[in-house]
Amino acid sequence: DTEVTQTPKHLVMGMTNKKSLKCEQHMGHRAMYWYKQKAKKPPELMFVYSYEKLSINESVPSRFSPECPNSSLLNLHLHALQPEDSALYLCASSQMPGLAGGHEQYFGPGTRLTVT
C-alpha cells in the first residue's frame, strides 16, 4: 500500500492567519518531503526530512515552518503568508536510500491552498 494522506484537501486563509498542513504515511518510510506546485508548473522541492531530522531546506521563507513529530507524520506550519504562496502543497515519502527501491517517492493528494 503506497498511500500518503494529507489534510485538509483545501484551505483558504488570510494573510494574518496561522494554519497547519498535515501529512501521514504508514509505509515505514524514513524520509518525507514537502513540495510546492503552482498552476501549470512542475512541483518544486521545499524541505526534506531524513529520520525525523530536517536535512534539506531549499531556501524557503521562514513563514513556512516544517515539523516532523515522528516517523509517520509531517506538518507544515503557515504564518503570515502572501497571496503568491497560493499553490498545491504536496507531501511525499520514500524509504531511505541504500535499500532496494529506496529512492522512489510517493505523493499524497496535496492541499490546495488559497491565500486571500
Which residues contribute to the site for another protein (CB under 8 A)?
2, 30-31, 33, 35, 41-45, 48-50, 55-56, 58, 90, 92, 94, 96-98, 101, 103-110
Nearer to another protein, 51 or 77 (CB): 51
**Shortest distance, CB of residue 61 to another protein, whole angstroms?**
17
Q: Report yes or no: 80 and 61 within 8 Å, Cβ to Cβ.
A: no
Q: Report d(CA 44, CA 102) in Å as an integer.
A: 20
**Shortest distance, CB of residue 75 to another protein, whole angstroms?**
18
Nearer to another protein, 94 or 115 (CB): 94
Nearer to another protein, 33 or 78 (CB): 33
SS3 state of residue 4: strand
Phi, psi of 96 (to 5 degrees): -80, 145
**Shortest distance, CB of residue 16 to another protein, whole angstroms?**
28
Q: End-to-end distance of the chain based on CA atoms, in angstroms?
A: 37
Angle at CA of residue 37, ends 103 and 46, nearest 5°: 55
**Shortest distance, CB of residue 38 to another protein, whole angstroms?**
12
